[in-house]
């Protein structure tokens, strides 16, 4: 099937030089016309499909309709409002987005206190996080500061330096945590947010 | 609170400190909690490597009377550990001390390396570096923590660093507060991280080695290390890992 020996002289095929070469070292013939190229036979059964694992690319969860701070952008200041926000750049300051969703992408670097509805972190955050719904720390996340939320999800590999505190779902973070913090201050001395104090100095 | 006057918990566990294989249910739980998407640690960690920890059981019992106790975990943060304590109404703080220490040393080395030629750069001794590190890494007020999970980290810190660390931990602990620590009787073959599965089950996760096993503490050294603490209790497992509890 692959080779017909019909008595005709076979076209000249360049032979490897003495000493031998590996297949990858064989150079193409100088006269390609000397070669006869036959169409490849159709295999009766499909060859097993080889799946090549896709390279691991740091991707952030998509946030449809969110305002985006793309990688390469640096922002200093306060961001407030009620729109979802995706940060893959750098931000320094404060984020106050009520019940909106905030996503810190894998390239995102945030040095700010975050007050939002749901916070998902794949990048790094230095600051205190308050979320009225949930906080999720992705596998590549690095967080320095306290996390106050009714629900928290921590992927293996996440790095957290700070405290985790649970509040009742639906409570406004700013109001509840302020009251809780005041109560704690009299009840017991709570650890200071490490990152905030360390970086502030 | 009078810790010592508390009624002892019912001994439903296996023999103290036994590192026998955990019940099938615990192992199954460990497997079921294995992450779907393996992280950096999970990728090298066979799930289901668990040990029964009587020291953990005692640790929890000692904390049971403290409302909203604050727990400080000196290992990496794990969902299961955080959930376990949060469900009990405790507050959890996490400080991956060994990793932070390594990062700190790397930064320090970088500072020395990048210093301009000819400029006098202060080269600090290891104890001095440890003091500086602990000042920033364990920035907690005095008497603010009710329980500390050290795991086996003391075995991996340079012995010059350990006294400063212990001093800080003692100051942070609330009177009556408890420390849980593990000590290997021989150099550990693998570097493990620990996470709590339930009230007396700890999962050991093989992890990329952050530090070599620096020191095997003898009993006398351990007692000296925790000399300021007023009470101690140790459990020796079949794997020769000593679990120790110390009460301030």
ipTM of the complex as predicted: 0.72
- The overall longest dimension of chain A from CA atoms, in Å, is 103
Q: At what angle do helices B97-113 and B126-137 cross, to 10 degrees?
A: 120
Is A186 touching B (CB cutoff 8 A)?
no
| Test mutation, A137, A145, A156, chain B, max B CBs within 10 A | A156
pLDDT for the residue numbered A4? 46
Q: Is the alpha carbon torsion for A108, B41, A127, A79 positive or negative?
A: positive
A190 touches chain B (CB under 8 A): yes
pLDDT digits (tens, 9 = 90+) for A56-113: 444 445 566 788 999 999 999 999 998 999 999 999 999 999 889 999 999 999 999 9
> Across the interface, do B42 and A191 touch by the CB < 8 Å criterion?
no
Give me A32's structure tokens. Answer: 């390609």
Handedness of CA B131, B132, B135, B138 (dihedral sign): negative
Could you tell me how far CA A5 lies from the centroid of its own chain? 58
pLDDT of residue B121: 67
Enumerate the residues of chain B whose CB falls inside 8 A of the CB of residue A137: 77
Chain B residues in contact with A198 by the CB 8 A cut-off are 136, 139
Contacts of residue A69, defined as CB under 8 A and 6 or more positions apart, other chains included, come to A75, A85, A86, A87, A88, A89, A91, A108
**Average pLDDT value for chain B:** 80
**With 60 as the cut, is the pLDDT of residue B149 above it?**
yes
pLDDT digits (tens, 9 = 90+) for B4-17: 556 555 444 433 34
According to the model, what pLDDT value does residue A199 have? 35
Q: What is the tens place of the pLDDT at every residue in B167-217? A: 999 999 999 999 999 999 888 888 999 999 999 899 998 888 888 888 899
């Amino acid at each position: 099937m692959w080779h017909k020996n019909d008595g005709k002289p076979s076209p000249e095929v360049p032979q490897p030089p003495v000493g031998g070469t590996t297949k990858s070292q064989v150079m193409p013939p100088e006269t390609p016309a000397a070669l006869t190229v036959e169409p490849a036979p159709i295999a009766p059964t499909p060859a097993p499909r080889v799946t090549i694992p896709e390279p691991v690319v740091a991707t952030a969860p998509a946030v449809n309709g969110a305002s985006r701070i793309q990688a390469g952008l640096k922002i200093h200041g306060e961001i407030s409002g009620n729109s979802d926000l995706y940060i893959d750049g750098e931000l320094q300051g404060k984020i106050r987005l009520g019940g909106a969703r905030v996503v810190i992408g894998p390239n995102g670097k945030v040095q700010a206190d975050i007050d939002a509805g749901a916070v998902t972190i794949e990048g790094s955050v230095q600051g205190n996080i308050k979320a009225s719904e949930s906080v999720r720390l992705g596998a590549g996340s690095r967080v320095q500061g306290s996390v106050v939320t009714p629900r928290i999800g921590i992927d293996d590999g996440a790095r957290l330096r700070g405290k985790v505190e649970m509040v009742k779902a639906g409570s406004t973070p700013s109001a509840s945590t302020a009251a809780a913090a005041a109560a704690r201050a009299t009840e017991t001395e709570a650890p200071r947010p490490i990152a905030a104090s360390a970086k502030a100095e | 609170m009078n810790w010592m006057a508390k009624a002892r918990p019912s001994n439903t566990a296996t023999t103290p400190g036994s590192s026998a294989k955990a019940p099938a249910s615990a192992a199954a739980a460990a497997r079921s909690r294995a992450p779907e998407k393996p992280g950096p640690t999970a990728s090298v960690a066979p799930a289901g490597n668990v040990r029964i920890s009587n020291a953990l059981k005692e640790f929890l019992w000692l904390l049971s009377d403290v409302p909203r106790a604050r727990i400080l975990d000196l290992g990496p943060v794990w969902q299961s550990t955080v959930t376990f304590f949060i469900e009990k109404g405790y507050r959890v703080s996490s400080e991956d001390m060994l990793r932070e220490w390594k990062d700190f040393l790397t930064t320090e080395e970088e500072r020395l390396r990048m210093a301009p030629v000819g400029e006098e750069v202060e080269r600090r001794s290891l104890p001095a570096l440890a003091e500086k590190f602990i000042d920033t890494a364990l920035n907690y007020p005095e008497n603010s923590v009710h329980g500390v999970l050290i795991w086996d980290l003391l075995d991996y810190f340079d012995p010059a660093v350990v006294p400063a660390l212990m001093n800080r931990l003692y100051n942070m602990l609330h009177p009556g507060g408890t420390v849980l620590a593990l000590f290997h009787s021989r150099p550990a073959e693998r570097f493990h991280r620990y996470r709590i599965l339930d009230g007396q089950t700890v999962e050991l996760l093989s992890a990329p080695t952050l530090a070599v096993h620096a020191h095997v503490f003898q009993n006398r050294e351990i007692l000296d290390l925790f000399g300021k603490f007023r009470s101690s209790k140790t459990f020796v497992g079949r794997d020769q890992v000593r679990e120790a509890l110390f009460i301030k």
